[in-house]
Structures are given as structure tokens and as C-alpha cells.
Amino acid sequence: MKTENKNYTGIDWFRVIAAILIISIHTSPFHTYNEWGDFIITRVIARIAVPFFFMTTGFFFISRYNYHMEKLEIFIKKSVLIYSIAIVVYIPINIYNGYFKMENLLPNIIKDLVFDGTLYHLWYLPASLIGGILVWCLVRKWGYHKAFPVAIVLYFIGLFGDSYYGIIEKSSVLNSFYTCIFQVTDYTRNGIFFAPLFFLLGGWIADCQTSLRQTTAWIMFVLMMLLMVAEAITLHTFQLQRHDSMYFFLVPSMYFLFCALLHFRGKRHVWLRDVSLVLYVIHPMIIVIVRFVAKVLHVQTLFVENSVIHFLAVVVMSISLSMVVVALWRQLGGKKKKQEDLYRAYIEINLENLAHNVKVLNAAMPPKCELMAVVKAQAYGHGMYEIATHLDKIGVRAFAVATINEGIALRRYGIRGEILILGYTPPEQAKILQKYDLTQTLVDYAYAYRLNAQACKVKVHIKLDTGMHRLGFNVYTDSLTEKEIQNIFSVFSMQYLKINGIYTHLCVADSLVYEDVLFTRRQIAIFYKVINRLKKQGISIPKIHIQSSYGLLNYPELKCDYVRAGISLYGALSSPNTKTKLQLDLKPVLTLKARVVLIRKVKEGDYVGYGRDFVADKNSRIAILSIGYADGFPRVLSGKEQYVLINGQQAPIIARICMDQLAVDITALSNICVGMIATLIGKEGDKEIMAPIVAQNAESITNEFFSRIGTRVHIECC
């Protein structure tokens, strides 16, 4: 599930609260009235603001599923752009402060650009850039289990150069170490020591989809904050702090706060993100303006010396100006278009329906049976990355693919658990199987022998051919041949093969015709006959699996360790009229759409398309859609009375479907214009086009139709 598509209202609103807390750090709102109260607000409570921003960025950016370099590049470009604008904006203040008159100007500017910021509050931007890149690389290369120890060590190093500096200052060795650090960066509050742990924590929360209850999260947050206040007061009393940004209890406080905020869902307020960013960048300038205006108007006593009024004045002016800037930016830049408005053809993947199907299938399976999600062929055309990462997030721990390259792709996406390769892999690639922790199907004895000869530990499942006569050890005989049984026995003693499973494939499990049921029952009987022979030989039976989608739907009584769910996982059946014993409430996951790119007026008697197959029988209006057979919409559907939905109305497909376009007749339709979206598979209003029916009209099955959807078709998750 893409976290960007979730409506995390709590995060949106707390962005502004965090920005206001940062203003309090720079204005000390209670300084006039109570020194300790101001200390607790500005030096303890407000210290959650920057870690919150780091965690928010990590939540949407740092993920073991974010394998795309493109996402990292976008993050770097945006961060550099914002930082560059902020630097330019504050050049006048730098000049006024005499910044450019300092000694060793060039090395100091380089140090400030990389670590400290060219103005005191801008340190956050290079810290975000460095911390984000560092953690993205750590998670991508090692995963969380190795990235966390690195981030924790860095945080501890930073901690003792910050709030706990007074402890290590007495050690000459440690003091020399930190002196070297402070020559490069003035503080350990930066992108190397401070930021990584919070980036990582945000990404981990996003990936793990923590289910901590809201009440529990708030109680624990308050408790951790009280402990952090006590920690800060203790450190302040004994004067141990060199700086005061990093605390032990800051980390658990942020974890519980973030978990609590995730429970607030609703309408997304993207503009709050922009307002909080502008608020963070411009508030020091507003502080200068407020003080300057107060001096000119001789109201310094009220607006400067009164710390509360000064704070409120800065907050009100900063928020007001930020909202104006954001409004102008949005107006000048225009309203951001929806992503689907940018694509010629795309599919929408309903992740809620996918999760629903997983739940329904799990409920239909026997106790202790586990779902093995079949995600080969780009997850039946749905997008392997989008489908597999979401399944992994919601707890699916077993996957099946057809090729080694598909298995490698899953690992690179960050997928955990077992990945079974159903097809053939050259034995010479055994080391790659081991490297990516993939499980290989043994297609026969000769193959097992060659794979074992590679002298490389590999996880495998034994496949038995019980009648399909495709891959597997041939056990389809009235009386099992002793030779083949001995071959299976010997596989269990092969030194380099770790047998984790044994399975077969039912070739007519989708049919309830009497002869087909008998054949399937025979396959099942043969499979268990082999299993029993293995048991008699004292062999410990690994996990077994027989059922694919139709195996579960028509033979739910079978008690296996896995069900290999393919087409049913995606909320469809292979054919529309297929009858099954189980009638499950499965929901379609995929919707296929394309854009109306042109509308033509065609006179009576005019031809449309290749071969002049279609001739208009009256003056007509024809819409051209930007999708064709190269995008997976079959050419054979030409002239088959197939239609699409536009604006909830049926538009018949006419003429031959081309490689890149197709034409529909919109003569009888109203309110159709260029730019509109047509639905080729899916629902619009009370009308729906079902994939199995389209596949049947194309003289095929849903499995083939889905898996042929081309790579040119963009994938959007919703």
C-alpha cells in the first residue's frame, strides 16, 4: 500500500503545530514570566518538532519497498531546491549580521552549507538531505534489521556530543574525538548523528503498519514526555549539556506520538504541508520584522519585551504570510493535476479489495493453512511491485513466481518470507538462488541431481506430476514405479538441497464435470499415496500444497499447508460461467482506463480504421481512445460488440483495434469531450464491464487477458 495515498490527517495538522513549536524555540514565549516553564517548553517539549519532520519524511520516503532510484532523485532535487531558495532568501540578513566578514570564509561557508545551515534554523535542511540519503541507502542495502543498529550507534555518538557532553568531556580520548567532530560540524545535531534514527523510525512504522491502540499510544507518549522532562531537568541542573536537542527519551516519545497521530484519518490537507514548510523557513525573517516594526513604532515593551505577545505576534504574522505565499504559489502554478490526468492509459489497483480478498481466502482455507500469493507475470498484469509490497505489508509471507528474475525482483522490492519459483531455473544459477534466498521447484530427478552438484545450499520444493504431464517427478501410474519412488527418496538425502515443500498441480480443478472430478480425485489420491510412502520410509514430510485458486474453490476440504492463490486473489474467475462449490465474496482489484484523445465527425458511408472494416451507416461521432492491443486490449475484440464506458454511458467499439488506439461510437452519447476517461474494465455508476466476460469475448480466459496488459499502461493504486 502506498503511504502517499493514505489520508493521514493527524500528520497534516501536526506539521503546523511542529512549526509553531520551532517558533517557540526561537522566541522563548515564557521567558518573561517563568524561566523553568520556558525551559520545559522550548528546550524539552518543542524538541519533538524536528524529529517529527524527519519521521514524517521517513514515513513517506524511507521504506524497504522504495527500490526506485527515481524516488531518491526526486527527494534530493526537492530538498536541494528548497535549501537553495532558503539560502538566497536569507542573504540580506547574513550581510546585515556580517556573516561574509568572518575569518576563513570559504571553509566556514562549506561547513555551514553541509551541516549547520547559513542561518541558525536552516541546519534542518542539509540534515534532512544527508540523513535521508544515508538511511535510504542503508535500508535498501541491508534492511531494517541492520540499518537500525547503525542509526542507534550514530544517535548515541550524537547524544554524548549534545545533552550528555559533560560526561565524556572529562575523558581526554573522547574529548579529542568530539573535538575533531566539532571542527567539521559545530553540533552533533545534524544529518549524520541526529536525523538517521528518526528517518528510519518513520519508514519502519510505515512498513510495519503498527497496530498500537490510540489510547495506549497517547498514554505512553505522555509518560515518555514526562520522563524526558525529568531527564532534561537533571542534565540542566548538573550542567551536562553542550546543546539540548538529543535525549534518550526523545526516541520513544516520538514513536508513540507518531503512532497516536496515525489514528487521525480524514480528508487530506496537502496545503498544510506547504504552509508548515514555508512557516519553518520564513519565521526568523518575521522575528526580525516584528522587532524592527516595534522599534520604529516605539512599542518594544509590548511586542518584544513581553515574550508571550512577541511569540503570538510572530506566530500570527508567520502563519498569515505562509498562507498567502502558498495560495499565490498554487494560483500561479495552477492546481496540481491528478496523476491519472497525465497518462494515456492506466490501471487502477484497489488495494482495499486486494486486502479483502486475502481475508476472504484465508477464512475459506483450513486451519493452519497459509496463503501463497501467486504474483508471476507482473501479478497477472496488476503490477508485481504494487501487489507484492501491499501483500507483504498486510501479512502475507509466501509468494510464488515463475522465474528466478521475478524472485530477485521481489527481494529487491523488500519482500520477506518464502518465494517459490514454480518454473525452471538453470542449475548453474544455484548461487543466485542462495544469494536471494529463493526456493526452487525440482522439476525431475535429473534436475535435482544437477542442482545438488552445484555444491551450494538451496531451498527447494519437490513437484510431483500426478497427471498434468508438465513439470515434476512422474508418479502418474496405476502402481508407482519403484525407481521413481527411490529417486524421490534420494532427493531427501542430497547434501545441498533443503526440502521445504512438496506439491502437485491439479489440471482440471476448475471443472465440476463428472469425468474431470474423477480425474482430479485420482490426482489427489496419487499425491497422498506418495506422501504415505515417504512417511513409511521415516522421511519427515515438509509443507505440502495441492490447491491453486480452483483447487480451493472446488476442493476446500483438502488440508494442506499452502493454497497457491492466483486469479482468485485478484477478485476474478478465469471464465464468467464457471461454477464452483465455494461462492466467495471476492472483489475485482483491477480497473482499466484510457483517455479520449480525439473526437471525429464521420459522414454516412465513410470508413474507419484498417481494412475499411467499419462503414458509418449514418452521420456519426467517433471518439479515439489511447489504448490498443500493445497495451493488452486484444485485437480479436474488433467487431465483437464490445463496448467501453464513458461518463457512465456505453460506447461500442468499432473498426479494428490498432496497436496504440481504438475507436468507439459516441453518436448516441451526450456530454463527451476530449480528455475524458473511458473505462474498459471496471465500474462506472451502475454499469460494470467484467474482465471474465471481456476475456471470453476475446476467446481467452481472464488469466491471459490480465497478464497481457502491457508495460506501457501506468499503474495507480487507490
Closest-CA residue to 150 (of 165, 138, 158): 138
CA 385/CA 349 separation, integer angstroms:
12
Grid cell locating 235: 542534565
Q: Cell 519532520 identifies what position?
A: 53
Do residues 526 and 467 make contact, with C-beta atoms less than 8 angstroms apart?
yes
Catalytic residue, candidates 376, 393, 459, 543 = 376
Distance, in Å, from the CA atom of 717 to the CA atom of 175, rounded to the nearest integer, reads 52
Rounded to whole angstroms, the maximal C-alpha distance in the chain is: 106
SS3 283: helix
**Cell numbers found for residue 563:** 493454497
Q: What three-state secondary structure class fits 470?
A: coil
Q: Choose the catalytic residue: 33, 96, 607, 610.
A: 610
∠ CA(123), CA(319), CA(95), 5° rounding?
Answer: 45
Q: What is the 3-state secondary structure (H, E, C) of 20-83?
A: HHHHHHHHCCCCCCCHHHHHHHHHCHHHHHHHHHHHHHHHHHCCCCCCCHHHHHHHHHHHHHHH
Q: ∠ CA(253), CA(254), CA(258), 5° rounding?
A: 120
Q: How far apart are CA 652 and CA 502, in angstroms?
A: 49
Pairing of strands 439-442, 418-421: parallel
Which SS3 state, helix, strand or coil, does residue 193 take? coil
| Closest by CA position to 272, among listed 322, 230, 311, 340 | 322
The secondary element (H helix, E strand) that includes residue 186 is none
Catalytic residue list contains 610: yes
Question: How far is 210 from 425, CA to CA, in rounded Å?
Answer: 37
CB neighbour list of residue 374: distance below 8 Å, 6 or more residues apart: 380, 399, 400, 401, 422, 548, 564, 565, 566, 569
Q: Could you tell me which of 187, 186, 157, 191 has the C-alpha nearest to residue 75?
A: 191
Please, which residues bridge with residue 462 across strands? 442, 502
φ, ψ of residue 185 to 5 degrees: the values are -135, 135
Q: Which residues contact 126 (CB under 8 A, 6 or more apart)?
A: 83, 113, 114, 115, 116, 117, 190, 191
Rounded CA separation 351/590 (Å): 9
Q: Is the Cβ–Cβ distance between 631 and 654 less than 8 Å?
A: no
Looking at residue 192, the DSSP 8-state letter turns out to be T
Whole-angstrom distance, CA of residue 414 vs CA of residue 389: 8
Compute the distance between CA of residue 622 and CA of residue 599 in angstroms, rounded to an integer. Answer: 6
CA 234 to CA 86: how far, in whole Å?
Answer: 36
Cα–Cα distance measured from residue 279 to residue 314, given in angstroms and rounded to the nearest whole number: 10
What's the angle, vertex CA 633, arms to CA 632 and CA 639, rounded to 5? 155
Residues 6+ apart with CB under 8 A from 97: none
376 belongs to the catalytic site: yes
Q: What sections of 382-536 are H helices per DSSP?
A: 384-393, 404-413, 430-435, 445-452, 482-491, 514-536
How far is it, in rounded angstroms, from Cα 454 to Cα 496?
8
The C-alpha cell of 158 is what? 550524537
How many angstroms separate the Cα of 561 from the Cα of each of 223, 391, 497?
A: 44, 18, 20
**Cell numbers describing residue 675:** 480528455
Runs of H (alpha helix) within 541-676: 549-554
- Which residues are catalytically annotated? 376, 610
